[in-house]
Structure 1
Amino acid sequence: MDSAAPRRYALVYLSSPSKGAVMDRKAKRTLGWVLAAALALPLAPPVQAAPDGVAGAYLAGRAASLNSDYRDAARYYARALMRDRANPALMESAAIAFLALGDQASAYPIALKLAEGYPTNQIANLILAADVLGPDGSLDMDVPSVGPVGDLLVAGWRALDRGRPAEALAAFDEMIDDPRTRAFGIYHKAMALAQVGDFEGADALFLEDGSIAASLSGRAIIAHAQVLAQLDRADEARTLIETRIGADDPRGAAILDALDAGTLVFDVVPDPAAGYAETFFTVAIALNGQAADAFTLLYARLAQILAPEHIDALLLTASLLEDLEQFDLANQVYDKVPRDSPAFLTAEIGRANVLREAGKADAAIEVLTQLVETHGDVARVHAALADTHRRMENFAEAAEAYDAAIAIAEAQGQDDWVLYYARGIAHERIGDWDEAEVDLRRALELNPGQPMVLNYLGYSFVEMGENMDEALAMIEEAVAARPDNGYITDSLGWVLYRMERYEEAVPLMERAVALEPLDPIINDHLGDVYYAVNRKREAEFQWKRALSFDPEEEDAERIRRKLQVGLDAVLIEEGADPIHVATD
């Protein structure tokens, strides 16, 4: 089998967030759009001409910022500010870098000076607001504006902090009356009602439109369960957790244990100070995936600064840093999650991921191996270890770890198609095709029409020259489901090529290259198809393009040989029949 083919379709990850942490996509799109519009950063003040000795530090800081390298950015901007203390662009850039690092102490004096000259600067106001709302702030101090949505949320919690619950509820009601901010109002009003002991009122809000509130964060589901427990409705709380979070999720298991012990209290947002942190956290959740990660990170950091024990803010911050490829910073944040937290498992899996991404694969394996020893009854742990082995191309070890994950999942009555798909890939890669086919077909039984599985199984048949009609049907179905996926489109062109339907393959291969122009295998395939329709000069051009994209050495050698002697000669050397060249 073509060694490159399965590699391109094996992109599946099992260490995903729990059900309760995933926002409803429709709600997320709506909320994200509203918040991106309401809270979008204004353009930075124009960069002033840098005096001698500043330009180098500024440019270095800017380059670091563009790469999300916040440590270097903070260092270079701070150096530039030493020579040009009044430059607003430098101040804002430095403040952003320090805030992205979670360094409020360094960001605050810069923000204070920036606000003196630019009192509406949002970055400065966010940092100053966090200082006012933090433990060193005072209820007598004015809170700088943090945007239309944030201002209303802060006003509500500020009023509750001052012992004015009616005023607080009025602020949240104002948000509920606006369809664009309804979810925020429901969620935060319910938290406020629960804080003052009105659990019936909080429950009524969740029942009225709980799905909208829960769309902001899985924390809303947990909060509702805690509210139900205070109302002596433990059975309803149990059902809510089992259906929305899952008994196999460590958070869900911890809540169910507390319900059994009769010790479940309301502590998601226990006081107004936590409400301030929750304001920034819910904004970050709504922006996540809708605004730039670097922007969302600022709100997550503010939540973390105001509530260092806010586990979900820690996890979100670490995830954003991981997406920004700041692996050392992400590792540091994951490491802040206490070992006794129900989220420790998620944090350790995240830490293993960032270690692997940082090129420390052995350390990642060590973290996950230790996790297997302490949490060996959790399928997700074995799946994470298997994923890491598979990404390192340790396919035998991956298959063994997937065996353990599947055994645990089956014992719990859970059949996950992704586990079978991933184990099928591992079996195929170690040459155990019979087991691979069983797993891939099982994945299709559990998730009929799944395009990744259809493509992988169909493409594998094509490479083996078996079940060609079934392979064609599978890949056609996959293309219908994912018409803009270049790899799947390539598979359809390739099966037609292997069935000697060369003219039909040409437009599909051309579209595949248009969709994935830098992929060496797809360019190589287009070259073969061009050769088959007697467009040999174009074939040579595509083979040369394929070589320029750094294919695996085995593939590169074959491409170079085709350029030397032609595809027919290569096929004969490999013991295959030459191409039956199509002619006009």
Structure 2
Amino acid sequence: MIAPAQMQAQGLAGAYLSGSSASYRSDYKAARHYFTLALQKDPDNSSLVQNAMLAALGMGELDAASELARRLDDPNHVNQLRSLILLADALRMEDFERAAVVLADAKEGLTPILSDLIAGWIELGRGKMGAAIAAFDAMDTPETLRLFGQYHKSLALAAVGDFEEADRLLTGDERGSLRLSRGSLLAHTQIMAELGRKDEALELLDSVLRGGQDIEIEALRAAIANDSSHYNYITTARQGAAEVFRMLAGVLAGPDNQQSNLLYVRIAQALRPDNGETTLLVADILRALEQNELAIETYATVPIDSAHYLDAEFGRADTLVQLGKGDAAVEVLRSLTRSHGDNPRVHMTLGDILRVAGKYSASRAAYDQAVKMIKEPARNHWFLFYALGVCNERLDNWPRAEMNFNRALELEPNQPDVLNYLGYSLVEKGLDLERAQQLIEDALKARPNSGVITDSLGWVRYRLGKFEAAVEPMEMAVELLPDDPVVNDHLGDVYWKVGHKRRAEFQWRRALSFEPEAKDESRILLKLELGLDEVLDREAKKEVQTGAQ
């Protein structure tokens, strides 16, 4: 019989190990659950508190994280995560006196860009504008630190209504512009509108859009155009602090920093929960950490009246596809066609998801709807016509597919994907092989290390009877795409034609090992049994018989 104390120890160990495993996987929901169980058995264990605190913040639960942080009260030990959480809690409560104390105690443990910028916003929150400006100006070296300091100084000036000086800073000087991000663009154009420079603001926004779509920027443009715009980018010290944490997550973006990025952006979200751009960044980082279910939940929190709602729904649908839930993703997009059906991006995205799923007829219908809505296609719409061409080619409507590909090339003349797909399709259909070779060669010039395009070049030379010239590009294509069944199959055919029959059989067997499509598999097996010449002869005879009928 196991003693109660032993049972408790085993329960503690099990919860700790499960929590540690979940934390290693960045599974914050499971980690929070198991470390909470462990703390019930050993509430004074500082290591458990630290882990539970990390999991809570990873989940976006600043209240729970703050409560845990207050348990770690060791004046002789500076805990960076604890300091961040207590600082965030004070900023969220707009208790700037407490925030100043926490920052002073923790400053050595925080990155200078974070502590210096937050110091400026704390001074603004305390009503000390002069001290705030001095804090931002003290960030003078290196140059990167100076740029961020001056950018936040401009935001602080705009927050108190000094738009002239904010505009001067954002415009920049001989050392360059302070337009560091999309956010600085939004802030600066709002400031221009406040200063009566409406036309200049509209021109700047138009230069960014350039035929593209950005709902938030389009809404701002409309507001400025009809004189209903008012500055609201950063209006309080709390919002300014949120911008610091959100900005840091962007600056530190990279595969090795995702966990710290998530903690920064979770704090930004707690300080400014209604900021849709921050919510999208949280979801994107969760996806990078392979926490897709949590990312889906996060996307779903963006309200329908937000300028970021469509991007959130697109992200949710894409994540569902990533999880293998294609039907659920299609339903998300179908719902958007009912609520936001006047936006061509909705139909284009629906078409993309259906096309990837191989539902070419339904995908074509969605793309056709988008084309009808775009009266004057811009350069960036090349992909729409390319994708439409792919659907028509798969549906055996070659005349329309070729028209779509040519339209895509009118919009983006040297686009390698379009050049290659059009060229390869002509090769497969035995049409205008000389043009096909030129298209593929042009595609390869634009993207010389593409295995797909290199394969196309070898294959068009093969179809033109230039067997010796086909060997080098086909061998290179196999080096670039060693596990591709089609590329290995093609190399086998080329080898056969130049008399290397054993090499050909080896490549065909390699192609079979990579699970080709059923029709390709049966043809490869037939080539191994009869040889390529006999297979081609049978296919030619069958084609003649079919034509005679």
Q: Give 2:278's match in structure 1, choosing from 313, 319, 327.
A: 313
Counterparts of 2:431 and 2:313 in 1: how far apart (Å)? 43
Query: Counterpart in 2 of 1:38?
Result: none
Question: Do the aligned residues in 1 keep the contact of 2:65 with 2:85 (CA within 8 Å)?
Answer: yes
Question: Do the aligned residues in 1 keep the contact of 2:19 with 2:34 (CA within 8 Å)?
Answer: yes
TM-score by length of 1: 0.81
Question: Do the aligned residues in 1 keep the contact of 2:458 with 2:470 (CA within 8 Å)?
Answer: yes
Question: How do 1:447-526 and structure 2 match up within 5 A?
Answer: 447-526=412-491
Question: Do the aligned residues in 1 keep the contact of 2:83 with 2:102 (CA within 8 Å)?
Answer: no
Query: Counterpart in 1 of 2:192?
Result: 228
Change (3 A) 1:106 1:441: same
Q: Does 1:133 align with 2:91?
A: yes
Counterparts of 1:79 and 1:520 in 2: how far apart (Å)? 50
Query: Counterpart in 2 of 1:142?
Result: 102
Q: Does 1:334 align with 2:296?
A: no
Could you tell me which amino acid in structure 1 is paired with residue 204 of structure 2?
Answer: L
TM-score by length of 2: 0.86
Query: How many residue pairs end up in the alignment?
Result: 526
Query: Counterpart in 1 of 2:27?
Result: 69
Change (3 A) 1:527 1:63: farther
Question: How do 1:156-167 and structure 2 match up within 5 A?
Answer: 156-167=120-131
Counterparts of 1:531 and 1:90 in 2: how far apart (Å)? 66
Q: Tell me how far 1:278 sits from its aligned partner.
A: 0.5
Query: Counterpart in 2 of 1:244?
Result: 208
Aligned partner of residue 528 in structure 2, secondary structure: helix
Could you tell me which amino acid in structure 2 is paired with residue 419 of structure 1?
Answer: L
Counterparts of 1:67 and 1:433 in 2: how far apart (Å)? 48
Question: Do the aligned residues in 2 keep the contact of 1:111 with 1:124 (CA within 8 Å)?
Answer: yes
Query: Counterpart in 2 of 1:404?
Result: 369
Q: Does 1:556 align with 2:514?
A: no
Query: Counterpart in 1 of 2:60?
Result: 102
Deviation track 1:209-248 (CA, whole Å, cap 9, x = no partner) reads: 69854333x1211111211122122222222223324785
Counterparts of 1:509 and 1:222 in 2: how far apart (Å)? 50
Query: Counterpart in 2 of 1:350?
Result: 315
Question: Do the aligned residues in 1 keep the contact of 2:28 with 2:56 (CA within 8 Å)?
Answer: yes
Question: Do the aligned residues in 1 keep the contact of 2:96 with 2:125 (CA within 8 Å)?
Answer: no
Change (3 A) 1:116 1:558: farther
Pick which of 107-116 and 222-231 moved more: 107-116
Query: Counterpart in 2 of 1:421?
Result: 386
Query: Counterpart in 1 of 2:402?
Result: 437
Question: Do the aligned residues in 2 keep the contact of 1:115 with 1:124 (CA within 8 Å)?
Answer: no
Query: Counterpart in 2 of 1:381?
Result: 346
Question: Do the aligned residues in 2 keep the contact of 1:152 with 1:172 (CA within 8 Å)?
Answer: yes
Could you tell me which amino acid in structure 2 is paired with residue 155 of structure 1?
Answer: A
Question: Which has the bigger relative contact order, CA under 8 A and spacing at least 6?
Answer: 1
Could you tell me which amino acid in structure 1 is paired with residue 172 of structure 2?
Answer: E
Query: Counterpart in 1 of 2:3?
Result: none
Could you tell me which amino acid in structure 2 is paired with residue 142 of structure 1?
Answer: V
Counterparts of 1:267 and 1:455 in 2: how far apart (Å)? 47
Aligned partner of residue 139 in structure 2, secondary structure: helix
Q: Tell me how far 1:52 sits from its aligned partner.
A: 6.5
Pick which of 365-374 and 149-158 moved more: 365-374
Counterparts of 1:244 and 1:88 in 2: how far apart (Å)? 50
Question: Do the aligned residues in 2 keep the contact of 1:98 with 1:106 (CA within 8 Å)?
Answer: yes
Query: Counterpart in 2 of 1:267?
Result: 232
Query: Counterpart in 2 of 1:42?
Result: none
Could you tell me which amino acid in structure 2 is paired with residue 157 of structure 1?
Answer: W
Counterparts of 2:234 and 2:516 in 1: how far apart (Å)? 52
Counterparts of 1:236 and 1:503 in 2: how far apart (Å)? 61
Question: Do the aligned residues in 1 keep the contact of 2:423 with 2:437 (CA within 8 Å)?
Answer: yes
Change (3 A) 1:71 1:212: farther
Question: Do the aligned residues in 1 keep the contact of 2:276 with 2:307 (CA within 8 Å)?
Answer: no
Counterparts of 1:449 and 1:262 in 2: how far apart (Å)? 41
Pick which of 84-93 and 185-194 moved more: 84-93
Pick which of 117-126 and 96-105 moved more: 117-126
Q: Tell me how far 1:93 sits from its aligned partner.
A: 5.3
Aligned partner of residue 180 in structure 1, secondary structure: helix
Give 5+ residue unaligned stretches, structure 2: 1-8, 543-549
Change (3 A) 1:375 1:188: same
Q: Give 1:281's match in structure 2, choosing from 246, 256, 264.
A: 246
Could you tell me which amino acid in structure 1 is paired with residue 242 of structure 2?
Answer: A
Counterparts of 2:285 and 2:466 in 1: how far apart (Å)? 47
Change (3 A) 1:557 1:65: farther
Change (3 A) 1:87 1:156: same
Deviation track 1:288-322 (CA, whole Å, cap 9, x = no partner) reads: 35754444333222211221111110111122323
Query: Counterpart in 2 of 1:3?
Result: none
Query: Which has the greater radius of gyration?
Result: 2
